[in-house]
Amino acid sequence: MEALAPYAFTVHLKDQAVRKYDNGFLLGDIPLGQGCFDLKRMVAILKRAKPEVRMSLELITRDALEIPCLTEKYWSTMPTVDGTDLARTLRFVREHPATDIQQVSSLPLEKQVELEDTNIAASLQYAQQELGL
């Protein structure tokens, strides 16, 4: 982050929830401030390195994605990546487990839209009040 921040023009700011599952981990978009990213630190680094950088909210209200990183098929496309990266990622997931990952597809359409609006409002409020954006 520190190395690349001086070169940033725009940033898609998002937060993520993670939780392990049998074949790897779940990765879900979640309102800003409710996930596992240290957004305050990230934004501070960006503001210090590039005060004029533009930030936009990136938030998709959907079911969490399954990242099947413990399967052979997943790794068949990355033969040169060693286990160090996987170990670091799984350690991060273990240290930052989400207690609640949104399950969106089971909701009626009007509830999905309502949840999307709620997530956006919560993210914008967090960005303004906690991140000074």
Instruction: Identify each DSSP E strand in 22-82 by its residue range.
Output: 24-30, 54-57, 65-67
List, in sequence order, every residue forming a beta bridge with 67; answer none if it has no partner.
25
119-132 pLDDT, tens digit per residue, is: 999 999 999 999 99
Number of domains, the chain:
1
Q: In what order do the strands lie in the sheet with 65-67?
A: 15-21, 24-30, 65-67
Residue 77 reports pLDDT greater than 90? no
Task: Return mean pLDDT, the chain.
Answer: 93
| CA gap 93, 110 in Å, rounded | 32
Query: Helix and strand tally (H, E) in the chain?
Result: 4, 5
pLDDT in the model for residue 6: 94
Domain extent at residue 105: 5-129
2-21 pLDDT, tens digit per residue, is: 999 999 999 999 999 999 99
| pTM metric for this prediction | 0.86
Share in percent of the chain as helix, strand, coil (round to 5): 40, 20, 40
| CA gap 75, 79 in Å, rounded | 7
